[in-house]
Amino acid sequence: MKRWINIRGNLYDLSIPRVMGIVNITPDSFYEKSRQTDEKGILETVEKMLAEGADMIDVGAFSSRPGAVIVDEHEERKRLDVALRTIRKHLPNTIISVDTCRASIAEWVVSNYQVDIINDISGGKSDKDMYRTIAKLQVPYIIMHMRGTPLDMQNRTHYQNVTQEVIYELSECLYNARHEGINDIIIDPGFGFAKTLEQNYELMANLDALKILDCPILVGVSRKSMIYKLLDTQPELALNGTSALNLVALLKGANILRVHDVSAAKEIMKIYQTLVKAKSINHAE
């Protein structure tokens, strides 16, 4: 499986799992503590994540929770401008991913703020120009699996076999993206997007099947409803469940964990790497 991506002309190794910290510059993301809308809050959040060991930061200017309405392009630009200007001014070497479905936004953030990665929850289906734009920009591109939009995705959860169909639908996106000339692709199975609670766990149990797509795998389950609804709690109390699933994801081949809680994720990484090392020593003997 391919385990590197090109960041600013340098090969970035994903054979060592990485942590992506989530910064939501929105007033309505499902996890209240992740919301930051002013320069001071954004800077403090990013500084804290980097100090705790985040390898990259994912900046999102609209909520993608079930039922959410995507903001207009003007508002998305305005929110991103504040965040990206602040990060690049004070923390210029930060690897930044921007969560957007719009090709025009992707081109704007890469050209003006040297954004390193574009994270597209629609997998290129929301904007017919996205693949062509990413190919021109030659930045790594995260293709996530989703059916429909955040507004209607939970009405599109009929699968005969969720793992097989997610792989098939991602493979179609991969084919089209590569046909346009995109070289560096990361796949995200889209936990919580057009999947029921049970389907999310079935997909996690079979996550290693996604290796057939020969791309690095990103997993984002941090404090999601698949955890807090199962445990009958709230996002604010879902860190234990998040940590448990993140360790499962690593054991099944995840290369990037997208998280709200960087320190906890780094502890999980250390445990995972120690397990891998112990297993390799045992095989060597």
Query: Which residues are tagged catalytic?
Result: 224, 258
Q: List 191's β-bridge partners, or say none.
A: none
The pair of structure tokens assigned to 42 is: 């954004």
The pair of structure tokens assigned to 241 is: 């469940």
DSSP 71: P
Query: Which residue blocks in 38-119 are alpha helix, DSSP H?
Result: 39-51, 73-90, 103-113
| Residues comprising the chain, all counted | 285
Q: Is the dihedral of CA 244, 245, 251, 254 positive or negative?
A: negative
The full DSSP string for 15-39 is: SS-EEEEEEE-SS--SSGGGB--SH
Side-chain half-sphere exposure of 218, counting CA atoms within 13 A: 29
